[in-house]
Amino acid sequence: MQVLQVQLEIRPDPAEVGRARQWARSRLAGSGIAADEPLAETLILLVSELVTNAVVHTGCPAVLRLLLTGMRDDPSGAVAGMVRLEVADASARPPEPRHATGDETGGRGLELVDGLADRWGWDQEGVGKRIWCELDRCAASVAGRAAVCGADVVAAEFAYGVL
């Protein structure tokens, strides 16, 4: 089984969100996940959401971690495994999922994470916290996620500037 773990330090500046997306795209490409795959598009949206939450709501530096596990498990060369995103910051304030309504411009981030990730949560880390989400790297999981929320993912990615 292969394991790849990389991390990026994030300054408490909204401009860091774009830098984090670019960094994550290059790391995914290096791991064999093509930029146009639904998994990659979903991961970049999740990076945007978690990093945005860290820089906007904490005012603290953060660390974005990307962990990829996988092994080739069939003759086609498909990879099974998992991708985990983590954003750790020095704020002890727990994440507060909200439900935005109508024309509100905020409050949808963790709701998107909950809808797109296979699993997500948060843990205390030192004096701060780590928010994480995981996506399974298997054809059934990716195809199912695209079928369930494909149109919503595209709309959200457009709205958040991922596309």
pLDDT tens-digit series, residues 24-50: 999 998 888 888 889 999 999 999 999
**Sheet of strand 79-89: strand arrangement:** 2-10, 62-72, 79-89, 128-136, 119-125
- Helical (H) or strand (E) element with 158: helix 139-159
pTM of the shown model:
0.78
What percentage of the chain has pLDDT greater than the value 70?
75
- Closest Cα to residue 117, out of 89, 142, 92, 94? 142
Better-predicted residue by pLDDT, 49 or 162: 49
Amino acid letter at 31?
Answer: S
Contact 121, 132 (CB under 8 A): yes
For the segment 53-83, what is each residue's pLDDT rounded down to a tens digit?
999 889 899 999 999 987 554 455 555 688 9
What percent of the chain is modeled with pLDDT above 90? 48
Spatial contact of 12 and 61, defined as CB atoms under 8 Å apart: yes
C-alpha–C-alpha distance, residues 107 and 94, integer Å: 15
Chain segment 79-127, per-residue pLDDT in tens:
568 899 999 999 998 888 777 677 766 767 888 899 999 999 999 988 9
The answer on pLDDT for 19 being more than 70 is yes
pLDDT of residue 103: 74
CA-based max dimension of the chain:
49
